Structure 1
């Protein structure tokens, strides 16, 4: 911790940043229990906690009251881990079930990707700045997200001399993700209620844990240790294989 006569400064190290992120998540969960509107709109707990903390820290810095910084060492690895878990949820069975609708969705996304870049480059040109910044705030950040922004940003900076490309892309991706989560939750909730969509009447592990009286006493207490370790192992293996494949492909594939 560093104190300054003019402004209070504090830097969270790698471990402290992880702990702070976890606390922020639970803070968001706590806020949802207190504010009924957030529950009705199905706003995710990470968004509630993260956005609240981000606003508070921004106000403190804007008023020159305090300047809080975080160690970004684990940022890239955690983002890769997150997108790995997203990929693990996909399967050929799901793709086959999507059928023609999935093909139309892929076509729509491809067209939208081109339109995003065209719009971004056009606006950048109108503002009198390098049109490649339009790509950074286009498909790189809006379609690719934080992981792609963090990967493509440095490449554009080194190859094309596009100063601040990484910051621009990550800022755009963060804003897009926050807005999509704020809008997506309420819309999803409305669609579920409007079309009266019901989930299968199956008891989940969480429900089983909440109703221990329904469990067989001979089986003892419910434990997910083996499942958690198995999932963690699969994620780490996929991340390692992805890194090796990425390094090999980078020698042949460039922008």
Structure 2
């Protein structure tokens, strides 16, 4: 076996080329683009297939330096924290509170199912968390982040398993969302509230700030300073917590630092370009996923194929039933509730873009739902990661950590 190791900068350069490949393939294959599969996922998985072929055919194993990836992880979760402005969150009202509560229950249910499957197959319950909310509701970023924590604690290939669930969950969430809404709407003979649909409830109106030009130099420098502060304050918080025997991943403390900083800036009325924050988040996540996915060792999944498929099918079935019988009823049994159910299916198995695509497909056929397009993105953008982190820590404490 020949082992080739790439240092940090060549790894980053190769990742960028992999992203360009993903963009090209998504543009050529409309199924991938319409399914909201990120280019980093497309390109990264294609490259990992290539490395698997090199491993089996040529006896060559590629290893990548992960220093850049680990830093990008901190940056990405910092952008999530910096986007969590209380002034925006308060615009969702009671419907937002209901959906957050529903999401909290579902995350626990998702982890219970994952752990139960792991116990049934006689493996460590930590693998069950990787087959639960870590990868499905959390997505690729959360799967890789917690996967690294699990592997450091001795769970072999936990990150690879998490990425597998996150990828298939992304597809499954896009497949079941619109059919769920169609069944609910036609079964209950629902129609949109046209009066409410004409009111200015769009999510863009929830923010009253005058947005800076995201490419303005002062705006970019301000965001860079805030991101650096998030990373540094998160590290300091971890050091203080460690002295008290409290262990938290670095990306969580960086995210919470971002929440504090953005709301402090909001209270002091300091100008912060949230478009620039979103762009930094998009770039850091794409590069982070690209490096993580192109370093996958797919050959390690062969022995776990059957339990992975069973877990994916059970989680998809659970999501379908939960959206129909819980989300729809709690959110009011009306047309908006049906559209929200479609969005929740995308959110619970995939990511916010999948949720939006599900709702867009539904409203394009049956009519508008401003309420759904307000609260589902708010839950996906702000609450799901915070709720998921709390749920995971609760499960780990009950399990006695990894």
TM-score by length of 2: 0.46
> Where do 1:60-75 residues align within 5 Å?
60-75=54-69
Per the alignment, residue 163 of structure 2 pairs with: 174
User: Is the contact between residue 22 and residue 42 of structure 2 (CA under 8 Å) also seen in structure 1?
Assistant: yes
1:208-245 Cα offsets, whole Å, 9 max, x none, are xxxxxxxxxxxxxx965443333222111111111211
Per the alignment, residue 146 of structure 2 pairs with: 148
> Where do 1:208-223 residues align within 5 Å?
none
User: Is the contact between residue 111 and residue 128 of structure 2 (CA under 8 Å) also seen in structure 1?
Assistant: yes
CA separation of 1:36 and 1:113: change in aligned 2, threshold 3 A: closer
Per the alignment, residue 82 of structure 1 pairs with: 76
1:100-119 Cα offsets, whole Å, 9 max, x none, are 23222322232223223322
User: Is the contact between residue 41 and residue 189 of structure 1 (CA under 8 Å) also seen in structure 2?
Assistant: no
Runs of 4+ in 1 over 6 A off after TM superposition: 185-191, 197-200
Give me the whole-angstrom Cα distance separating, in 2, the residues matched to 1:124 and 1:49.
Answer: 30
Per the alignment, residue 233 of structure 2 pairs with: 241
- What secondary structure does 2:5 align onto? strand
User: Is the contact between residue 57 and residue 68 of structure 1 (CA under 8 Å) also seen in structure 2?
Assistant: yes
- What secondary structure does 2:132 align onto? helix
Moved more, 58-67 or 229-238: 58-67
CA separation of 1:30 and 1:86: change in aligned 2, threshold 3 A: same
User: Is the contact between residue 44 and residue 185 of structure 1 (CA under 8 Å) also seen in structure 2?
Assistant: no
Contiguous gaps of at least 5 residues in structure 2: 181-191, 205-213, 248-396, 398-402
Per the alignment, residue 232 of structure 1 pairs with: 224
CA separation of 1:149 and 1:43: change in aligned 2, threshold 3 A: closer
Give me the whole-angstrom Cα distance separating, in 1, the residues matched to 2:130 and 2:34.
Answer: 35
Higher radius of gyration, 1 or 2: 1
- What secondary structure does 2:67 align onto? coil
Q: CA deviation at 1:51?
A: 2.0
User: Is the contact between residue 43 and residue 181 of structure 1 (CA under 8 Å) also seen in structure 2?
Assistant: yes
> Where do 1:173-192 residues align within 5 Å?
173-183=162-172
CA separation of 1:129 and 1:32: change in aligned 2, threshold 3 A: closer
Structure with higher RCO (Cα < 8 A, 6+ apart):
2
User: Is the contact between residue 22 and residue 44 of structure 2 (CA under 8 Å) also seen in structure 1?
Assistant: yes
Give me the whole-angstrom Cα distance separating, in 2, the residues matched to 1:183 and 1:224.
Answer: 39
Give me the whole-angstrom Cα distance separating, in 2, the residues matched to 1:11 and 1:138.
Answer: 32
Give me the whole-angstrom Cα distance separating, in 1, the residues matched to 2:135 and 2:36.
Answer: 25
Contiguous gaps of at least 5 residues in structure 1: 1-6, 158-162, 201-221
Q: CA deviation at 1:49?
A: 1.6
Give me the whole-angstrom Cα distance separating, in 1, the residues matched to 2:237 and 2:121.
Answer: 39
- Whichever structure has more helix as a proportion of its residues is 2
Is 2:155 the partner of 1:164? yes
Q: Between Structure 1 and Structure 2, how many residues are aligned?
A: 215
1:112-140 Cα offsets, whole Å, 9 max, x none, are 23223322332222222333443454345
